[in-house]
Chains A and B, each alone.
Chain A
Amino acid sequence: MVRRRRRQEKEAAPVAPAAAPPSSEDDEAPEELSFGTARAEAEAERKLVGEAARRHRELLKEKRRRRQELFAEQKRRKLLPEALLQELAAAPPARADERSPAAAPEFSLDKRPQGVSAKQNEGRIPGQVKKDKAGGTRSKGNYIAVHLKDENLTGLHQQTAKDFIHSQLYGPGTNRTSANEFFSIANKKDLVKKAAVQFVDKSWGLEKKQRATKFTKYWVARKVTNTL
C-alpha cells in the first residue's frame, strides 16, 4: 500500500515531462521503513477512519433523535389536554357494562379528532340501530356513538351471491335493453308506426302532480266553505 502511494506521488510529479521513461522509477529501490513506523502509521490511519465512522454514526443518531422528538411533539399537540383525558378515563367505566364489546373498541380511549360521527362497524343493517348518547362526558362537537346490530354472516354471503348472479345476468357485456324498448320494436316495425309501449313514464314529475292534486282539493274545499 505504501509502495502504491509512493508510485502515485511519483507519477503525479513528473506528469508534464511525459517523455520521462517510466523504467527509471522501477530501477530505484523502495524506501526502507522500519516495522514500528509502518505499524504506527497504519494505526493512525485506522484511528482516523474509525473516528470518521463514529462521527458519521453520531450524526445519524442525532438526526433520528431529532425526528422522533418532532413526531412526539406533533402527536402531543393533537391530543386533548391532560385534564380532560383524566376525566374521560374516570367516566366511561361506569357505562362500560351497557356497551356491547363491539362498540367498546370504538369508544375506548382512542384519541380521535372531534367531529367524527358514528363509526361504521362491519356492515350496518338499517332499522336496527340503538342510539346511545355518551352521558356524563363533556365532548366537544356533536357526535353520537351508536350500537349497531351484530352482523349476520349469512346476510353477507347472500348479498355476495345475489351480486354474483346480478352481475352475470345483468352486468356489463350481457347486452340488455329495457323492457320498454324491447316491446316497442314491434310497434316501430309495424306498417302503421305507433308510439312506444311506455311512451310517457308515469313517474315523471310525480311529486309535482301529487302536490297539485292536494292543492286543488284544498282550494275547492276553501271555495266551498267561503261560499256557504
Chain B
Amino acid sequence: MGEFEVHRVRFFGLVPAGVRCMAYQHNGRRLALARTDGAVEVYNFAANYYMEKAIPGHQTRSVEALCWAAGERLFGAGLSGDITEYDLERLRPARAVDGFGGPIWSMAANNDGTRLAIGCEDGSVKLFQVVPGGGVQFEKNLDRQKGRVLCLSWHPSGTHLAAGSIDFIRVLDVHSGRTAQRIMVNCHVPKSKKRECVVWSIAFLSSGTVISSDSFGRVQFWDWERGTLQDSHTVSSSAALSLAVSEKEDSIVVGTSAGATYQFQLLPVKAGGQEKRWVRTKPFQHHTHDVRAVVHTPTALISGGLDAQLVIRPLMEKVQKKGYDAALRKFTLPHRRLVSCARKARLLLFQFSQHLELWRLGSTNKTGKDGETLPLSRMPEHLLQLKSKGPEHIYCSCVSPCGSWIAYSTASRFHLYRVQHEGDSISVKKVPGVPKLLLPAYQLQCASDSGRLFIASDRGSVHVVQLLEPGGCKHLHTLRPPAGTREAVYLLASSADGNWLAAVSGDWEVHVYSLKHFKHHCTVPTYSCAVTALAIHPTTNNLFISYSDQQLFEFSIPEKQYTAWSRAVQNSGLHKLWLERDSPITHIAFNPKNTSQVLLHDVYMLCVLDKSLPCPQPLPDDSAVLVNQSTLKQLSEPARRRQLHAFKICKKFQPLLFADLLDERCLVTVERPALDISAQLPPPVQQKKFGT
C-alpha cells in the first residue's frame, strides 16, 4: 500500500457554539436548530441525519425560538424584537417583522401552522397571522400583565394559550384575549428558599393539563380550569430548562442545567387499570452542560446543549427492528469542510466564524518506522490572521493550491486577497475591483492551476472568475443549470486539467459543466440522498461522489455514465459496517501517482480506497472484516493477499476535521480533540463527587 508521513495538526482552535433552540417538522422529518451565535442549521433525518442547510450567524442576532409554520416555512424570533422568516433556498434571513413588544422570548405556532404567538419582554402575548405569500401580519394583542413571558404553548385545539412568566403561569383565551386563569407557581417552596421562580418552559395538553418546568428543577402538572397542582416532581437541584411533549401526549422529555435529560411517561397505576399517572422513567446523561433545547419525535428523544452537542436518542420500544436505527447519535463537529489546503505551498487555511487563519506546516528531515513520531526541524507557523469586518459571519473561504490567493465571503461582502511569499514572511494585499455578483457565495473553489476561481451562487448558478497575475480579477462567465432551480449550490469540484466543473445544488442534483465551451455537459442521475462530498480524478476525469447514506458512486464525465467499478460495487453492495457510520464523508482526495487510490475521511476514520482490489463482502459471522489493517500486518504474505480488500481504514486520528494528500508520501490530518473543545466551554454546573 504505502507509507505516509502524517502531519498531525491539532492547532485548529475551533469551538462550535452551543445549541439554543430546536424545532421539528413532522411531515418533512427535518430538524431546525439555532445556536447561540445566531447560526441556524437544518438537519434532514430522512437523508441519514445530514446537515443539509446552514445559515451562518451574526454578531447581533440571537435566536430564542424557532418554529415551522405553514408547511416548509421556518420562523425565528430573538432578543432583537423581530420575527424573522428564513429563506432556506437562498440561505439567509428573508423578512423581519418587528413585534413592538421588546425582546421576544418565546414563539409558538398553532397546530395548523396558520398563526404564531409570541411572548415578549413587556409581558404581552401577541398573535400574528402567517401570510401565504410571505411574512407574517399582526393580528391582535392578548391580555398584558407585568412580567416577561418566557414560554408559550398552544392548546392543541387552538383556543387557549398557556404562558409562563416569573412566579406565575397564565392561561389566555385566544378569542377574547383575556386571562382565563392565573396560577402562582412559587407557593410551594419553603420560606428559607424563597427566591423568584422562573418558569423556563411550558406545555399544554389536550386534556387540560399544563406542564411547567421551572428554575427550582421541578416539573409540575396543573389543572388549568381549577388552577390546582395535580402533581409535582423534582428532577434536579439545578434548573429544568426545557420540555417537549410527544405527539400522542403520553411521554415528555425534560432537559436540565446539569446536562441530564429525563423522560416522563403516562402509565397506568395498576396493570390494566384505568387511572394513569405521570412517572419519571428514564434518566439520560448525554451532555456536560445545560440542555437548553429538547424535542420529542415519534421514535426518538433529541436534545441539544450548550456543549455544542446534538444528541439523538432513539427510544427502544418505538424502534421497529434492531439495527442501526437504534443507535445513539452525537453531533459535535459540523458537516461542512472548514479547512482548505494549499498543496504545493503546504499551507492550511482555517475558517472560523469571524476570522481566517493561515498556517504553514512544519517539516522534518528524519525518517522512521511505522507508528513513530518524528522530530520537527521547523515548527508550524501562524502566518496570517484575517479578520472579517462587520458583524456578519463567514459563509465560505478557500486558498489557491499555490497559496497566493485567499478568498472568503460573508452575507453581503466578497473579499479576495493576493498573498506574496517573500522567503519566510508574507504580505497581503486586497484585490480591488471584485466583480459585483449576487452575494453571498455559498462555496468557493480555486482551479488547480490557480488561474480561476469558481463561486457558487444561488439559483444553481456558478460564476467563473479569472485571477489575473499582479493582483486583479475578471468575471468570465456564469454557468446555469438547464432546468433552472431555486436552490443554491453548496458543493463544487473542478478537474485538474481545467476542463470540467461539477456543482451540487440544494435539490441534490449534480450538474457537470464544460469549462472549454462554458456550457452544461450532463447531469448525474438523481439519487434519493444528499451529496456530502465530490471530487474529479486528475487523470481519468471520473467524478467520485459520496452520499449522506454512505454510498459511493463513480461517474465517468467523458462517457456520461457510471463506471464499471461503480456498477460492480452497487451490485455487490457495501459492507454493513461501512454503511452504519455516523458521520458523513466531507472530503475526497486522489493520489496523483496511483490512479486507483482514493482518500476519504469522516469524523472518526481515514480510509484509502484501492479500486483495483475487491470489495469486502459482509460475512454473516465475521463483523471485524472491514477494519483489518492491524491483523493484516501480522499475517504472512500469501495469507495477506487472500484477505486484502479495497477499504484500508485507519482509526488512529480522531476526531478528524480534514485529511488530505499533500503528495504521494505525505498526508495531513487536522484533528480537534473533544477535550480541547470542552476546556473552552462556559462554566457547567458543579457535580459534587465523593472524595474530591
Q: What residues of chain A have their CB less than 8 Å away from a CB belonging to chain B?
A: 154, 157-158, 160-162, 164, 168-170, 173-183, 185, 188-189, 197-198
Contacts and interface: CB of A to CB of B under 8 A. Distances in A.
B60 to A, nearest CB: 8
Nearest to B81: A154
Nearest to B680: A179
A88 B117 CA distance: 57
Secondary structure call for the A interface: helix
12 contacts: A157-B121, A158-B60, A158-B79, A161-B79, A164-B148, A168-B215, A168-B239, A177-B686, A179-B678, A179-B681, A182-B686, A197-B679
Given A161-B103, A168-B198, A173-B195, A189 B685 contact: no
A183 B215 CA distance: 25
B148, B288, B678, B680: residue with the most chain A Cβ atoms closer than 10 Å: B678
Given A154-B81, A183-B675, A175 B685 contact: yes
B679 A179 contact: yes
Contacts of A197: 675, 678-679
Contact of B683 (A154, A157, A173, A179): A179
Secondary structure call for the B interface: loop
A183 B692 contact: no
B237 A161 contact: no
Given A157-B81, A169-B239, A176-B685, 16 more contacts: A154-B80, A157-B79, A158-B103, A161-B79, A164-B148, A168-B239, A169-B290, A174-B257, A175-B237, A175-B238, A175-B686, A177-B683, A182-B288, A182-B683, A182-B687, A183-B675
A75 B103 CA distance: 47
Interface string B57-84: 0001010000000000000000111000
B691 interface: yes
B177 interface: no
B517 interface: no
B318 interface: no
Contact of B679 (A175, A180, A185): A180
B87 to A, nearest CB: 23
B692 A189 contact: yes
A11 B685 CA distance: 88
B682 A179 contact: yes
Given A154-B81, A158-B80, A175-B237, A188 B692 contact: yes
B686 A183 contact: no
Contacts of B215: 168
B197 to A, nearest CB: 11
Nearest to A182: B684
A180 B678 CA distance: 8
B102 A179 contact: no
A202 to B, nearest CB: 10
B689 interface: yes
A169 B258 CA distance: 11
B315 to A, nearest CB: 29
Contacts of B103: 157-158, 161
B691 A189 contact: yes
Nearest to A176: B683
B186 to A, nearest CB: 15
Interface of B: 60, 62, 79-81, 102-103, 105, 121, 148, 195, 198, 215, 237-239, 257, 288, 290, 675, 678-687, 689, 691-692
B462 to A, nearest CB: 38
A114 to B, nearest CB: 40
A125 B691 CA distance: 49
A181 B686 CA distance: 9
Contacts of B691: 189
Contacts of B687: 182, 185
Contacts of B62: 158, 162
Given A176-B683, A179-B680, A180-B679, A185 B692 contact: yes
Contacts of A182: 288, 683-684, 686-687
Nearest to A162: B79
A98 to B, nearest CB: 29
A217 B681 CA distance: 35
Contacts of B692: 185, 188-189
Contacts of A162: 62, 79
B614 to A, nearest CB: 44
A177 B148 CA distance: 28
Nearest to A155: B60
Nearest to B290: A169
B423 to A, nearest CB: 12
A174 B103 CA distance: 24
A128 B682 CA distance: 30
A174 B195 contact: no
Contact of B121 (A161, A179, A198): A161
Nearest to A196: B679
Contacts of B675: 183, 197
A169 B238 CA distance: 9
Contact of A189 (B79, B686, B689): B689
Given A154-B81, A189-B691, A169 B678 contact: no
Contacts of B679: 179-180, 183, 197-198
B624 to A, nearest CB: 29
Contacts of A164: 148
Contact of A176 (B102, B195, B684): B684
A170 B80 CA distance: 22
A160 B80 CA distance: 12
A158 B81 CA distance: 8
A141 B652 CA distance: 69
Contacts of A161: 79, 102-103, 105, 121, 148
A176 B103 CA distance: 27
Given A158-B80, A197-B678, A174 B238 contact: yes
A24 to B, nearest CB: 75
B684 A179 contact: yes
A177 B79 contact: no
B349 to A, nearest CB: 23
Nearest to B678: A183
A185 B681 contact: no
Contacts of B680: 179
Contacts of B683: 170, 176-179, 182
A170, A176, A189: residue with the most chain B Cβ atoms closer than 10 Å: A176
A57 to B, nearest CB: 52
Contacts of A160: 121
B684 A177 contact: yes
A126 to B, nearest CB: 14
A157 B102 contact: yes
A119 to B, nearest CB: 27
Counting from the closest, the 7 A-B pairs by CB-CB distance are A177-B686, A176-B683, A161-B103, A158-B79, A161-B79, A157-B102, A182-B684
A221 B331 CA distance: 48
A76 to B, nearest CB: 48
A121 B81 CA distance: 24
Nearest to A180: B679
Contacts of A180: 679
Contacts of B237: 175
Contacts of A179: 678-684
